[in-house]
């Protein structure tokens, strides 16, 4: 039976809520903290910053990641920057404006109080990162430099060349290892969480597989935090890393945690286009390039000239034309959809006609090649490595790619899921970005969740756990959960069909791009659900996985991830089908204005969908968290 | 194009490894090196053989998880490029390619082309950070850092921790990796207070992990995907000697 859920938002005016919360939150005294264990799954910006901060406070943290080092979490790949309302540019920025931009960018589908808190904590993050030695870009006088990013009119983005994620992550990774050295954090790299263990209604541990030995292990704690990142890899071709997955959150979902707005996926407008069938990923070209690059397609679909030979009058700078106020910096969902529109009109460029031009010739003329090289040098080099083309002399070719999951585990204001003792932070939760995330806001969210929010809210929860002794891994809940995990792995190996997990994944990804991507229709989604059900059936009968459990076995790892994707994909389609409106990245063809823009339905759909697992992937229960706007009145999002 | 592969296969640390021959007929120039291995693996799995285990994740040259020796060169023939960013257009039709894991005493083999590089983490854990807790930070602009300082620190900070420098060094030294972190932090006002402590601890840990000594052949920078400068090693040695002198 579906219910209306509450987010536990503190009392008081918007700007006071977080302070009120902190003033009243329960505390744990330092000598009690060392009696409490916390499991942190994930070492990206969210997980590393949270684990380090909790370690510094005195908790015992067990930190997990599937890569061979914590430093390799996919946060490392973020290029463009991180937002903060420092107003160093004196250009009218403020916490309120940043909050408003984020809320509007998300098409009024996020929770006001969370979004405000994100903006409120943003300035401290820059202070923290700078103190750690993160080499952000500087002005010649020595002060921090800013640039602007899609969807806003102020310059509030801090950056470290084109490797902002890497540098921020190294900062928090180093803080994490400092706590490892101090004995407060124990690291479990090359470990994959395969299930959540619930004891008497509370999250008390996980089952993990040691990927180097294949051993199945039990780990217990007083609370479990999932910081496992996004699941955009479900589309197979995406800007995510090969190992990114939904398994941790999906298995928590199957234990009762709600999944919120799972279909809201950001399709990034500036990725490199697919070049062939062999392709395993799409590389992102940072959106910051849109600061200086101009996007265009030829007017004539039959155009055959080289880009440099096409005169101005035969080019359509369609973003500048359609959205004069924001031009090339229109928000991502709008920019991606506009690109798709041009590509669908047959104006796409490149061999597969699946791309649009991103042109730097004017910026190079204006500022000189040296300045452009300093701003984006590594991106131009990367472009050359992958395509063999020199973007200083020829425009880049870019196209949309699955990139970021706005959806994720539902969490309340405390970042606690619907399961007591289970928290979700960073991209793994759904909280702050609504139906579309603004560029440079998610590094921020991951960091703010980890450094500044969870340490308070988790402590508030742990304050009632100080009398609970160490959790015993011999409890029957651990025994049973481990058995289930084993059975599933054995099932994959026994199947002995003739299709690899990767082949299934590719098929599933195509289906999602096609019917649950940039453009969604009722009929398409219904068809997708049917196709996914069939594919899932085939997966159980025809999967081929070599080798054994108790050894290094990448194929077995993939099988587990794809098996979860097979179920999640259906929920995404159900979610998209149920939402009879368009908002942000969720664009239903049936719901658009005459000009082809997204048409929201605030009367009926002003809620977050929090789906509940029922045991059957085809019949989840929809719970709703109504979105109440006390401070801002939702308006039609216009970037014209 | 047609590509002949000689790939190092080794079940685990205890078992002896050997090269095995494979041939792929339809390799496209646009494939990345790892996509070429993916293609091989699908073929192997379908013919009942174990696929080749290799490390990778981001596939865009930033996470540092990939890395193999290709024809004896760490990350292959293209300068300043990770294995995942290497494309088959760097090879010719009919080429034979040798593929081996990174070899070093401090990088024990896991399986086939996978090695364990946790020793690099241990070096960072011994002191590769600024000792600042969450919440202690002052206002960011209260510590000006000149543009040049920030850029120089960045050049060192760009290390991706792949271990190619170790694999390409005849002494299996981790000097380039270690010095890059020391150098980054020493060049920033936030980090320089701890330089002498840091350098002593990190150099000690480097030896503890079983990495060899640097004899300044400079092979490391040549094969480093980030072109991390060997001048960092000189700075590390300078800071190390200074720290030892001051201690005495
Ligand atoms: C190419 C790219 C560029 C981006 N650029 C920007 C940008 O410029 N600005 C911006 O603000 N945002 C950007 N983003 C988004 C941003 O980087 C991410 O949203 C953010 O870094 C997510 O951090 P996280 O800590 O939540 O997850 P991640 O960094 O993805 O970390 C996930 C962690 O969980 C672990 N994990 C996952 N599953 C399991 C499991 N089952 N068991 C054990 N461990 C597990 C992983 O090992 C990893 O340690 C970009 C994203 C991409 C893909
Ligand atoms: S110094 Fe270069 S080769 Fe060595 S680990 Fe860093 S990036 Fe890799
Ligand atoms: S796979 Fe990440 S650097 Fe190659």
Q: pLDDT digit string (tens) for A134-160? A: 999 999 999 999 988 766 889 999 999
**3 state SS of A199:** strand
Whats the size of chain B, residue-wise? 248
Average pLDDT of the segment spanning A372-394: 89
Structure tokens at A167: 């540098």
pLDDT at A334: 87
The CATH fold of domain B117-132+144-245 = Fumarate Reductase Iron-sulfur Protein; Chain B, domain 2 (1.10.1060)
Q: Does CATH place domain B3-111 in 3.10.20.30?
A: yes
- What band does A195 get if pLDDT is binned at 50, 70 and 90? very high
pLDDT at B248: 61
Q: Is the ipTM of this complex over 0.85?
A: yes
Report whether residue A75 contacts ligand 1, using a CB cutoff of 6 Å: yes
Q: Decide if B130 and A142 are in contact by the 8 Å CB cutoff.
A: no
- What band does A314 get if pLDDT is binned at 50, 70 and 90? very high
Q: Which atom of ligand 3 is nearest to the CA of B58?
A: 2
pLDDT at A281: 93
Q: Which of A40, A41, A44, A563 to mutate to test the pocket of ligand 1 (most atoms within 8 A of CB)?
A: A44
For chain B, the maximum distance between any two Cα atoms, rounded to a whole number of angstroms, is: 66
**B63 and chain A in contact, CB less than 8 A:** yes
pLDDT at A229: 98
pLDDT at A176: 98
Q: Which atom of ligand 2 is nearest to the CA of B120?
A: 5
Residue A377 in this model has a pLDDT that exceeds 70: yes
- What band does A596 get if pLDDT is binned at 50, 70 and 90? confident
Give residue limits of the domains in chain B: 3-111, 117-132+144-245
Compute the distance from residue B221 Cα to the ligand 2 centre, in Å: 8
Report whether residue A163 contacts ligand 1, using a CB cutoff of 6 Å: no
For residue A64, give the nearest of A210, A199, A167 by alpha carbon.
A210
Average pLDDT of the segment spanning A300-307: 95
Query: What average pLDDT does the structure give for chain A?
Result: 95
Residue A538 in this model has a pLDDT that exceeds 70: yes
The DSSP element (H or E) to which A52 belongs, if any, is: helix A45-57
**CA A471 to CA A386: how far, in whole Å?**
50
Report whether residue B61 contacts ligand 3, using a CB cutoff of 6 Å: yes
pLDDT at A381: 87
Q: Decide if A554 and B53 are in contact by the 8 Å CB cutoff.
A: yes
User: Which CATH number is A476-626's, of 3.30.950.10, 1.10.10.10, 1.20.58.100, 1.10.1040.10?
Assistant: 1.20.58.100
pLDDT at A326: 87
- What band does A161 get if pLDDT is binned at 50, 70 and 90? confident
**CA A333 to CA A435: how far, in whole Å?**
9
Q: Which residue has the tokens 């799409």?
A: A282
Report whether residue B162 contacts ligand 2, using a CB cutoff of 6 Å: yes
pLDDT at B74: 98
pLDDT at A211: 98
Which chain A residues are Cβ-neighbours of B45 within 8 angstroms? 500, 544, 546, 555
What are the residue ranges in chain B where pLDDT is below 70?
248
Q: Does CATH place domain A268-402 in 3.90.550.10?
A: no
Give residue limits of the domains in chain A: 268-402, 476-626
Residue A637 in this model has a pLDDT that exceeds 80: no
Structure tokens at A456: 């308070």
Query: Which ligand is in closest contact with the Cα of B183?
Result: 2
Report whether residue B159 contacts ligand 2, using a CB cutoff of 6 Å: yes
- What band does A597 get if pLDDT is binned at 50, 70 and 90? confident
Q: What is the pLDDT of residues A583-593, one digit of tens each?
A: 999 999 999 99
Q: What is the pLDDT of residues A467-514, one digit of tens each?
A: 999 999 999 999 999 999 999 999 999 999 999 999 999 999 999 999
Which chain B residues are Cβ-neighbours of A69 within 8 angstroms? 64-65, 117-118, 120-121, 161
Q: Which of A15-24, A63-72, A371-380, A621-630 has the lowest mean pLDDT?
A: A371-380
For residue A565, give the nearest of A231, A191, A211 by alpha carbon.
A231
Identical fold between B3-111 and B117-132+144-245: no
Q: Contact at 8 Å (CB) between A426 and A383?
A: no
C-alpha A439: how far from its chain's center? Answer: 11
Which pTM was predicted? 0.97
| Beta-bridge mates of residue A499 | A543
CB pairs under 8 A between A and B: 219
Q: What is the pLDDT of residues B16-45, one digit of tens each?
A: 999 999 999 999 998 999 999 999 999 999
Q: Decide if A276 and B28 are in contact by the 8 Å CB cutoff.
A: yes
Q: Which of B177, B230, B232 to mutate to test the pocket of ligand 2 (most atoms within 8 A of CB)?
A: B177
Q: What is the pLDDT of residues A62-81, one digit of tens each?
A: 999 999 999 999 999 998 89
Q: What is the pLDDT of residues A242-268, one digit of tens each?
A: 999 999 999 999 999 999 999 999 999
**CA A165 to CA A159: how far, in whole Å?**
9
């Amino acid at each position: 039976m579906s219910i209306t859920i509450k987010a536990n938002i503190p009392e008081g005016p918007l700007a006071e809520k977080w302070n009120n919360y902190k003033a009243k939150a329960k505390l744990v005294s330092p000598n009690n903290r060392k009696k409490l264990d916390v499991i942190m799954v994930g070492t990206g910006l969210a997980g590393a910053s949270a684990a380090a901060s909790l370690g510094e406070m005195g908790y015992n943290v067990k930190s997990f990641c599937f890569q061979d080092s914590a430093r390799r979490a996919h946060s490392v790949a973020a290029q463009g920057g991180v937002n903060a309302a420092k107003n160093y540019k004196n250009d009218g920025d403020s916490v309120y404006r940043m909050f408003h931009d984020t809320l509007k960018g998300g098409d009024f589908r996020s929770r006001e109080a969370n979004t405000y808190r994100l903006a409120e904590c943003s300035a401290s993050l820059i202070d923290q990162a700078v103190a750690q030695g993160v080499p952000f870009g500087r002005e010649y006088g020595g002060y921090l430099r800013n640039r602007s990013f899609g969807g806003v009119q102020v310059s509030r983005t801090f950056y470290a060349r084109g490797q902002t994620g890497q540098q921020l992550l190294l900062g928090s990774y180093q803080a994490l290892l400092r706590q490892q050295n101090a004995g407060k954090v124990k690291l479990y790299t090359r470990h994959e969480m395969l299930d959540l263990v619930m004891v008497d209604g509370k999250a008390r541990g996980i089952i993990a597989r040691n990927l180097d030995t294949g051993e199945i292990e039990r780990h217990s704690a007083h609370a479990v935090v999932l910081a496992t990142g996004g699941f955009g890899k479900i589309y197979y071709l995406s800007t995510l890393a090969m190992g990114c997955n939904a398994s941790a959150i999906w298995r928590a979902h199957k234990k009762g945690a709600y999944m919120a707005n799972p279909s809201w996926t950001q399709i990034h407008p500036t990725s490199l286009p697919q070049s062939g069938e062999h392709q395993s990923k799409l590389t992102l070209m940072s959106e910051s390039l849109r600061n200086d690059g101009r996007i265009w397609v030829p007017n004539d679909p039959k155009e055959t000239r080289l880009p440099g030979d096409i005169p101005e009058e035969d080019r359509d700078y369609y973003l500048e034309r359609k959205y004069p106020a924001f031009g090339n910096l229109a928000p991502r969902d709008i920019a991606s959809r506009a690109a798709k529109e041009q590509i669908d009109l047959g104006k796409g460029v490149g061999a597969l006609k699946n791309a649009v031009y991103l042109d730097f010739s004017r910026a190079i003329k204006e500022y000189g090649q040296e300045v452009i090289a300093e701003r984006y040098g590594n991106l131009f080099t990367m472009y050359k490595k992958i395509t063999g083309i020199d973007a200083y002399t020829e425009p880049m070719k870019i196209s949309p790619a699955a990139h970021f999951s706005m959806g994720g585990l539902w969490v309340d204001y405390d970042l606690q899921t619907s399961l007591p003792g289970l928290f979700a932070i960073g991209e793994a939760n759904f909280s702050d970005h609504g139906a579309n995330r603004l560029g440079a806001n998610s590094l921020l969210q991951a960091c703010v969740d980890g450094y500044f929010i969870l340490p308070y809210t988790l402590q508030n929860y742990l304050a009632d756990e100080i009398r609970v002794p160490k959790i015993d891994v011999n409890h029957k809940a651990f025994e049973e959960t481990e058995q289930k995990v084993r059975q599933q792995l054995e099932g994959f190996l026994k199947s002995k069909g003739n299709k690899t997990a990767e082949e299934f994944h590719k098929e599933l990804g195509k289906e999602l791009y096609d019917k649950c991507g940039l453009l969604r229709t009722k009929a398409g989604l219904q068809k997708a659900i049917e196709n996914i059900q069939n594919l899932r059936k085939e997966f159980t009968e025809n999967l081929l996985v070599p080798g054994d459990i108790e050894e290094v076995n990448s194929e077995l790892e993939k099988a587990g991830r794809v098996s979860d994707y097979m179920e999640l994909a259906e929920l995404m389609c159900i979610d998209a089908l149920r939402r009879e409106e368009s908002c942000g990245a969720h664009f239903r063809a049936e719901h658009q204005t005459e000009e082809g823009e997204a048409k929201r339905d605030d009367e009926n759909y002003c809620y977050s969908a929090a789906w509940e697992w029922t045991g059957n992937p085809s019949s989840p229960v929809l719970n709703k968290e109504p979105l109440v706007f006390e401070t801002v009145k939702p308006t039609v999002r216009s970037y014209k | 194009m047609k590509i002949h592969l000689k790939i190092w296969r080794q079940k685990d640390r205890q078992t002896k490894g050997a090269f095995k021959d494979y041939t792929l007929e339809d390799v496209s120039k646009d494939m990345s090196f790892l996509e070429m291995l993916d293609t091989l693996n699908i073929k192997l799995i379908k013919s009942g053989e174990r696929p080749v285990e290799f490390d990778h994740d981001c596939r865009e040259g930033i996470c540092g998880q990939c890395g193999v020796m290709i024809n004896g060169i760490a990350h292959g023939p293209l300068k300043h490029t990770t294995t995942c960013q290497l494309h088959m257009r760097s090879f010719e039709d009919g080429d034979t390619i040798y593929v081996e894991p990174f070899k070093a005493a401090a990088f024990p083999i896991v399986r086939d082309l996978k090695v364990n590089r946790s020793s690099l983490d241990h070096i960072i854990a011994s002191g590769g950070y600024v000792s600042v807790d969450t919440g202690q930070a002052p206002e960011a602009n209260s510590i000006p850092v000149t543009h040049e300082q920030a850029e120089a620190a960045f050049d060192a900070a760009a290390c991706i921790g792949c271990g190619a420098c170790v694999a390409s060094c005849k002494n299996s030294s981790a000097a380039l990796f270690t010095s890059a972190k020391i150098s980054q932090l020493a060049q920033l006002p936030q980090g320089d207070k701890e330089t002498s402590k840091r350098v002593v601890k990190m150099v000690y840990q480097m030896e503890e992990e079983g990495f060899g000594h640097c004899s300044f052949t400079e092979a490391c920078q040549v094969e480093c995907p980030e072109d991390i400068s060997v001048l960092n090693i000189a700075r590390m040695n300078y800071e190390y000697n200074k720290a030892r002198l001051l201690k005495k």
